Structure 1
C-alpha cells in the first residue's frame, strides 16, 4: 500500500506542477507558439493593462509587472506602436516572460525578437536559456519606428530549453520597461572552414531567423562571442550592433544574406582564422549598399594580421557593390580578420535611422608568393 500511496502523491504533485507552469511544446523553426502575443489574457486575468495571472497569456508564463499592450495604447503624450499584429507585452521592473521548448541537446539555436524602448532611457534586456545568458542594450534606436529586431544565440544543454526574456531595470515608474513582440527561433548549423575559404560563414548565409514581414533587418548585439553567436563564426566586437540583412528586403552582393555596418567604428565584426607563419594569404570581400537610401561617401576598413585596407565606396543608396582584396604574410598561427565602417551614416529618406556599408562574400585563402 505504501508504494501505491507514494505513486498517488507523486502524480498529484506532478499535476500541481503542470498546472502552475506553461506546457512544454516541441520546437520548430519560426515564430514560437503565440510568439506574436495575438492570443491574450481573459479580462478577468487583467487589471487595466497589467496581467495578474502568470499563465494568463497562452503558451507563456509571466512574472513581475507585465502589461498586455494593444497598438495605439496611450501613455501620457506617447502613443505605443506595435510592429506587427495588434498586441505586444511590456516588461516592468524585474519582470519576465518565459516559454519552455523541446529541443535537441547540444544543438545551437538563435532567438529573434522585436523590442522597443518606451519612457526609460537606459533600457536593456537579459536573455537567457540556462546556463547561457546575455544582456542586450536597447537604448540605441536604429529605426524610426522605435522597434528593432534583435538576435541572440545559445547551445542547448538539455532537451528542454526555458527561454526567458527579463527586464533587469529599476525605474521609478514600473510601466517604463521595454515592449516585446514577435519572438521566433531557428536552428543554427555552424559552418566549417573549407579548401575554398579558411574563414567560417564568410558569406553570412548562416544566421538568425529574419521574420517574413520584417523590413528593418536583424540587429546582432555588441560583444557577442563566436562560440554562441547568432552569426556563426563571427564575433561582434563593438559598442554598437551590426545588422543582418536579407535579399527579401535589401540589396545583397552575393547569396541571400549580408552584414550592414550601421554604427561607424562602433559597429565591428571579427573572426580569428588558423594560419601558418610565413605563408602569404589574400583576404577578399565585397563592399556595397543595401538599397535602403543610405547615400554618400562610405569607407570600410579591413584588418588582416598587420595589414590594413581602406575601401571607399560612393553609395547612391540604390544597391550595388565593388570588390576589394588585401595580401598579407601571416605572423601568427591565428590571424584576426576584422571589419568596420569609418563613418556614421543616416538614411536620406529617414534621418533617424542609422545605416552604413554592406560587406559580404568574405574569403581568406593562402597563395603562392609572386
Structure 2
C-alpha cells in the first residue's frame, strides 16, 4: 500500500509540473515587479537579479510609463513598467517546459533612440539546433510605436533558458529598445484532414496574442527561425506577416487570420503533397481587418505555376470575399503561396503599414468540391 501511495504521489507531482505550463505571461513577464531603490542608479539596474524572476547583464534600465528622454515620452503598452536594453544588454529567465514540445515566444518591443535597433532572441540548451532569432525593429507597423513579435522553438530539455539580447553598441550606452510583456504558448503541430489538404488553413493555431493590445503579432520571415510560430506555414519573404485576432480586428472565419502588411515582401507559403495530373481547387477568403486600411487591394495566390489575382476594394471597416484557383498538379509537391500586390498604409495619418486579410484557406481534390 505504501508503494502504491508513493507512486500515486509521484504521478500527481508530475501532473502538477506539467499543468503549471500555461499559455500566457512568463513570471513577471510584464516587469511590474521591479528592483529595490538600492539596486538602481537613476533608471539603470545595477544588480544582476534585481528584477524578480529575471537575470540581467549589460546596460538595463527600468522604465516607468510616461518617463521622458529629452523630448521623447516613453510609453509602456501594458501596466506601468518596462525595461530598456542598452549596450550589450541581456535579460533571461529559466522555465520548466515539456521536452520535445513546440513553443512560441511573444514579446512587445518599441524602438527609442538608436539608429539600427535589433534584438537577438534565443533558447538554451538547444545547442545542436542553435535556436535563435534576430529581429530588426526599424519598421514599425502599429501607430503607437509598439509592436509584438513571435518566435518559435522546440524544447530540447525540460529546463530551458529564454534570453532577449540587444547586441548593439551605441555612443549613448542607454540607447536601445524597450521590452514589455513576454509570454509563452504551447504550439500543437496541425495535421491535414479529409476536408483540407493544407495544415492550419484557418490559422487558428499560432502564437500568443496579448489580450490587452490591439496591434496583433508580427511573425518574422522564415530565414529568422527554424520553427514557424504559425504551424504549417512558412513566411517566405523579407518582411513579417501580422497575426490578428477577432477580439481586435475583423476576422472572416474563426478567431484568427493573417494580415499581409508589406506588399510582395510579405509572403506566406506551404508545400503540400499532390498527385501529378489530378485536378485541385484552392479557395481562400480575402478581406480587410476593420483597421482603417482603405483602397484597392489585391492578393496573388500561387499553386505551383498557376496563379490568380483576387482583388478587394476596402473601405477599412471590415468585409471579405471568397476567391478560387483551379489547377492540375504538375508535381508530387506543390507550393501554395500568397502575397499582397501593393503596399498599403492606414488612412489615419499614422503612416502605419497595413494590408489585406487572408483566412480560411482550403485545398481539395476536384472530386471533393462540395467542401469548398
**Cα distance, 1:225 vs. partner?**
7.4
> In the alignment, what sits opposite 1:105?
99
Native 8 Å contact 2:134 2:224 kept in 1: no
Q: Which range moved further: 168-177 or 258-267? A: 168-177
Native 8 Å contact 2:26 2:184 kept in 1: yes
> In the alignment, what sits opposite 1:164?
163
Native 8 Å contact 2:133 2:224 kept in 1: no
> In the alignment, what sits opposite 1:352?
351
Native 8 Å contact 2:217 2:243 kept in 1: yes
Native 8 Å contact 1:226 1:233 kept in 2: no
> In the alignment, what sits opposite 1:272?
271
CA distance in 1, matches of 2:177, 2:197: 40
Report 1:27-106 matches (<5 A): 27-106=21-100
> In the alignment, what sits opposite 2:299?
300
Native 8 Å contact 1:45 1:53 kept in 2: yes
| Alpha-carbon spacing, 1:183–1:161, altered in 2? closer, same or farther (3 Å) | same
**Cα distance, 1:164 vs. partner?**
0.4
> In the alignment, what sits opposite 1:16?
none
CA distance in 2, matches of 1:184, 1:133: 16
**Cα distance, 1:273 vs. partner?**
0.7
> In the alignment, what sits opposite 1:187?
186
**Total equivalences in the alignment:** 346
CA distance in 2, matches of 1:220, 1:67: 27
Q: Secondary structure at the match of 1:343?
A: coil
> In the alignment, what sits opposite 1:206?
205
**Cα distance, 1:121 vs. partner?**
2.3
> In the alignment, what sits opposite 1:290?
289
Native 8 Å contact 2:151 2:225 kept in 1: no
**Cα distance, 1:346 vs. partner?**
1.2
CA distance in 1, matches of 2:100, 2:252: 33
TM-score (normalised: structure 2): 0.90
Native 8 Å contact 1:225 1:236 kept in 2: no
**Cα distance, 1:235 vs. partner?**
0.8
> In the alignment, what sits opposite 2:257?
258
Native 8 Å contact 1:26 1:103 kept in 2: no
CA distance in 2, matches of 1:259, 1:224: 19
> In the alignment, what sits opposite 2:243?
244
